[in-house]
């Protein structure tokens, strides 16, 4: 992996994000795609990271959140990057346009995930690749104890709209089991070629500390040192090591074992 990108991920406080990103970049480096789409690009982390590589000819990012897109526009200055507001259900690109699509932490937000994935299938070239990551329904107890207890004993979870407390359910329509995400993918013209689960061990209340408290502090107080979207102010701190320490020896080979995320590489048949 590129030295600068590895430094950025080493200093990423959320260990699940760092492992998801490494999973995606490893596939990108192997395939060296020319046209890449980041669907749900947010504030532009993957767009900026992709601009560090020389081989992409076009890097596209879409999202529906105008505030996030404004930040992405300001930070993404590479001329190969094109950013616009767009709905995943009706993309303006022609059929078979992209070599590679990043669909990370998006499907769980969609009212109609099947329709959204089929549209990605449409704009993907034959033998093209989609990198998908989704939250696992079978997540570890320590990652989000509140929702773990509610789901196991009361068959409910914290309201998705209470973003600071909702934990792994924040803004999500659903979480996925391995079988559910595989079934969704098989409904399109796509085939799973790689599956990995990330983060089994974590410090207690990780999601709440990282996003319920941490994200709010970074955004409200402008703590650039901890802002993953600011590539120029990413400095060493001890916090990333603290959060990733429990997962250093994670090897989740058992598909029935809990994990924070399910990561997949799928190819268009």
Is the predicted pLDDT of residue 1 greater than 90, yes or no? no
Mean pLDDT across 149-177: 96
Reading phi first (left if > 0) and then psi (alpha if -120 to 50, else beta), residue 134 is in beta
pLDDT tens digits, 195-243: 999 999 999 999 999 999 988 777 766 655 566 766 666 566 799 999 9
Token code pair at residue 269: 């048949």
Mean pLDDT across 165-188: 96
115 membership: H or E segment, kind and range: helix 113-123
List CB contacts of 16: < 8 A, sequence separation 6 or more: 198, 199, 260, 261
For 3-139+174-203+238-268, give the CATH class. alpha beta
pLDDT for 229: 66
pLDDT for 226: 61
pLDDT band (50, 70, 90) for residue 256: confident
Domain ranges of the chain: 3-139+174-203+238-268
Rounded to the nearest 10 degrees, the angle between the axes of helix 178-186 and helix 113-123 is: 50
Residue with tokens 């098989």: 186
Closest listed residue to residue 169, CA positions, set 90, 213, 109? 109
Residue with tokens 């941490």: 214
pLDDT for 38: 98
Calculated CA dihedral for residues 189, 194, 195, 199, nearest 10 degrees: -140
pLDDT for 170: 96
Under 8 Å between Cβ of 29 and 265 = no
pLDDT band (50, 70, 90) for residue 189: confident
pLDDT for 252: 87
Which SS3 state, helix, strand or coil, does residue 161 take?
coil
Residue with tokens 């505030």: 67
pLDDT for 174: 98
Whole-structure pTM value: 0.95
Residue with tokens 């590895």: 6
Is the predicted pLDDT of residue 12 greater than 80, yes or no? yes
Residue with tokens 């590589």: 53
Distances (CA, A) of 199 to 14, 105, 193, 207, 250: 10, 15, 21, 12, 7
pLDDT for 228: 76
pLDDT for 235: 63
pLDDT tens digits, 44-84: 999 999 999 999 999 999 999 999 999 999 999 999 999 99
Please tell me the distance from the alpha carbon of residue 217 to that of residue 219, in angstroms, as a whole number: 6
List CB contacts of 73: < 8 A, sequence separation 6 or more: 83
* Least confident residue range of 63-67, 140-144, 163-167, 190-194: 163-167
Mean pLDDT across 92-104: 97
Burial per residue of 67-106, b for 16 or more beta-carbon CB atoms within 10 angstroms, e otherwise: ebbeebeebbeeebbebeebebeebebeeebbbbbbbbbb
């Amino acid at each position: 992996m590129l030295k600068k990108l590895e430094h950025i991920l080493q200093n990423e406080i959320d260990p699940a994000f760092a492992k998801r990103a490494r999973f995606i970049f490893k596939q990108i480096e192997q395939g060296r795609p020319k046209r890449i789409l980041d669907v749900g690009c947010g504030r532009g982390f993957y767009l900026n990271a992709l601009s560090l590589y020389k081989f992409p000819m076009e890097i596209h990012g879409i999202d529906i959140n105008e505030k996030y897109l404004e930040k992405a526009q300001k930070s993404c200055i590479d001329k190969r990057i094109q950013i616009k507001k767009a709905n995943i259900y009706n993309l303006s690109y022609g059929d078979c346009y992209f070599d590679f699509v990043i669909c990370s932490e998006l499907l769980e937000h969609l009212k109609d995930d099947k329709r959204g994935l089929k549209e990605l299938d449409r704009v993907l070239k034959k033998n093209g690749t989609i990198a998908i990551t989704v939250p696992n329904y079978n997540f570890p107890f320590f990652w989000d104890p509140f929702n773990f207890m509610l789901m196991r004993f009361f068959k409910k979870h914290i309201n998705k709209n209470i973003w600071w407390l909702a934990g792994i359910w924040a803004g999500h329509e659903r979480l996925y089991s391995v079988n559910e995400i595989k079934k969704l993918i098989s409904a399109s013209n796509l085939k799973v070629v790689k599956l990995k689960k990330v983060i089994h061990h974590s410090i207690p209340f990780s999601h709440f500390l990282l996003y319920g408290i941490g994200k709010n502090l970074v955004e409200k107080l402008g703590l650039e040192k901890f802002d993953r979207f600011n590539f120029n102010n990413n400095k060493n701190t001890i916090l990333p090591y603290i959060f990733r320490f429990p997962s250093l020896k994670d090897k989740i080979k058992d598909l029935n074992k809990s994990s924070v995320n399910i990561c997949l590489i799928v190819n268009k048949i």
